[in-house]
Amino acid sequence: MQLFDTIFGRREQRWFENGAAGGRHGKFNGHAISNGRKIPVLGTTVWREGVAFVSPHALPETEMQFFFSLRGRAIPSRIHVEQSEAMQAPERVVHRYFCGFTAIAADDWDAVVRYVENKAEPQKIQLPHKADDEFRSLPSAIQGAIVEQLVRAKRLEKPAPGTVPLIRMVAGSVRDHGHGQTTQDVLIHSRVSVGDQMCAYDTRFRVFASQRIELIA
């Protein structure tokens, strides 16, 4: 009947119907949230507009959360059931669903489109370590000594317990002086509020292997 309607122009072919272009067939893993429970399903086709999957259980909802994986990427989404049908599998009756996306993150939808069009994933860019991450990589005793000196010099407000100080660090290379003695110069960028202004300071310290620090400038 659907084919009849399509041929004679009674309605437009829906994106998931037989003969519709733009889908990519292939199995993928996923699960739907139905009645508060996670129902594992087997994905069969992906379109830009949505997905098709087979569930071992009938799902009463017409709209639900759906999580699936493509090329190792976990994609959360929300879907609306466009059509469902019971199918006789070799050992049991299963239920096939054709569902359109009603909510999906832009980056995830871009990944869906690349998958459907069989395009390669973009190269991941290795981001450099953030300066504050470098500061946290220092031994805690060194971190505490640097913060204490900056607070005394009124170049940093004393951080509240359990909070991260407003500090960024640029670390120089480690110099080896032999016999296990090393030093490393670090530049600390700190900020402190003075009245209604925010003042910024750059302070240099030398860090010794013995976990002692020395103010340079």
How confident is the model over 154-212, as pLDDT tens digits? 888 887 776 667 778 888 888 888 777 888 888 888 887 776 666 788 899 998 888 88
Residue-level pLDDT at 199: 78
Cβ–Cβ under 8 Å, residues 13 and 19: yes
**Which residue has better confidence, 53 or 124?**
53
- Mean pLDDT rounded to a whole number for the chain: 83
Residue-level pLDDT at 50: 94
- Residue 175 φ then ψ, to 5°: -105, 130
Q: What contacts 111, CB < 8 A, 6 or more positions away?
A: 70, 71, 73, 75, 121
Cβ–Cβ under 8 Å, residues 53 and 30: yes
The residue type at 169: M
Q: What contacts 169, CB < 8 A, 6 or more positions away?
A: 131, 132, 134, 135, 138, 186, 187, 188, 189
Cβ–Cβ under 8 Å, residues 111 and 71: yes
Residue-level pLDDT at 24: 93
Cβ–Cβ under 8 Å, residues 187 and 162: no
DSSP the chain: -HHHHHHTTSSPPPTTSTT-SS-EEEEEEEEEEETTEEEEEEEEEE-SSEEEEEESS----SEEEEEEEETTEEEEEEEEEEEEEEEE-SSSEEEEEEEEEEEE-HHHHHHHHHHHTTPPPPPPP-PPPPHHHHHHTS-HHHHHHHHHHHHHTTSSPPPPTT---SEEEEEEEEEE-STT-EEEEEEEEEEEEETTEEEEEEEEEEEETTS-EEE--
- Full-prediction pTM beyond 0.85? no
Instruction: Indicate if the pLDDT at residue 67 is higher than 80.
Output: yes
